[in-house]
Structure 1
Amino acid sequence: MERSKLIAILTGAISVILAIAYLIVVQLLDYRDMKPAPISQVISPPAITISHWQVDKITQI
């Protein structure tokens, strides 16, 4: 019984240490200054436009 208690306490301590380390890493990553990409580097797909007369042609078919 004594050995299983020791293993449980050790496992719990490791879990708490990992949780604290995770929180520290998340805080460090969140602290960074994130700047958006310049507009010239953003690749946007071309817009597809359709005019009114083309819609009428499509609906007549």
Structure 2
Amino acid sequence: MSRSKIIAILTGAISILLAIAYLIVVQILDYRDMKPAPTGELTMPIATQMRFNNGGSQNLKQKSMFIIGETNI
């Protein structure tokens, strides 16, 4: 057998093994029967803006700061 024929057979065998592995993975994932993901532990981020005034003068620029937290849905 020539070297190119051995490489062709080996490549075909690897291709068939990958196809079978793909079909097995698809069957395992399809086993869930399209059930939605559990939502018990999902959190939603919340952003709040806080303003700080430097000193008591109204002429000074106010600084803003965003605080990001999480809350359960």
In the superposition, the TM-score normalised over structure 2's length comes to 0.45
Higher relative contact order (CA 8 A, sep 6+): 2
| Whole-Å separation in 2 of the counterparts to 1:36 and 1:21 | 24
Higher normalized helix content (fraction of residues): 1
CA RMSD of aligned residues (A): 2.1
| Greater than 4 Å deviation, 4+ residue runs | none
| Whole-Å separation in 1 of the counterparts to 2:22 and 2:7 | 22
Higher normalized strand content (fraction of residues): 2
In the superposition, the TM-score normalised over structure 1's length comes to 0.54
Structure 1 segments unaligned to the other structure (5+ residues): 39-61
Is it true that 1:8 corresponds to 2:11 in the alignment?
Answer: no
Paired positions, count: 38
Shift of 1:32: 1.4
